[in-house]
Amino acid sequence: MDTVGYTEHENNEDPARAATIKKLKQWKACLQEAIPETKVKGYFLNGSVNQCILDVAENIKPQLIIIGKPGKTGYFSFYTPLNADRLSRLSKCPVLTVMNYDNHNKMKTIILPVRDFLPVRKIELLAVFAKIYRARIHVVALQSKIFEHQKEWDVLLETYRVLRNGLNNKIEYLLLKGNNLPRAVADYAAEVNADMLIVNPKKETRISGIFRTDINDVMPKNSGVKILSVVPYHDL
């Protein structure tokens, strides 16, 4: 397993850089202690955080990128915070967002939204977490779309069938009320105290384009829910 840590230049005299490298060394040691025999390799790069992550991802082709909860900025802000949707779309790599208030409880509940196509890539990643944590799985779809489009109902049932046949976890499906899938998913996640959401970027995360509001912004302040943003195979 390769995990990003740090790379440094010799004879460094910049105090801020030296302090950062020291911190990265501490993280490296923690990772190696927590996961024995782990190889830790990292990069100390200049530039925007988003672009640095994309550059490293292009180089090492990771299976997963993990970031903290993106900060909320004003509509006219020139600062670009970490953006899970953008990172997942451009890197084509799943991006896991861990909230700042993560309570580190055992993962008990995972929510999987579906639309009008079988979410094969999301199902594959879900299986990994589901088998490790024995979590309960909620497959959800928007009720208004189900009533309008037979295909979405068929996909919901097919997703449920695939999961039931492949996993031993407790699995259920249900319809969410409303006209905005990300908003409905966020509300339901808060209702059942979900531990993880597995979503496609933008269409399943963007609540309002005008106000730059996404699913992260409406989760409860003390929520420990993790959001895994996954580009579907047909968009790779």
- Which residues lie across from 138 on neighbouring strands? 111, 172
Written as tens digits, the pLDDT of the chain (236 aa) is: 444 444 444 445 678 878 888 888 888 888 888 888 888 887 778 888 889 999 999 999 999 999 987 555 444 444 456 888 999 999 999 999 987 655 556 789 999 999 999 999 999 999 999 989 999 999 999 999 888 888 999 999 999 999 999 999 999 999 999 999 999 999 999 999 999 999 999 999 999 888 778 898 888 767 789 999 999 999 99
**With b meaning 16 or more CB within 10 Å and e meaning fewer, what string describes 75-105?**
eeeeeeebbbbbbbbbbebbbbbebeeeeee
Q: Where are the beta strands (DSSP E) in 114-170?
A: 136-142
Q: Where are the domains of the chain?
A: 109-235
Arch. (CATH architecture) of 109-235 = 3-Layer(aba) Sandwich (3.40)
CB 190 within 8 A of CB 182: no
CB 28 within 8 A of CB 7: no
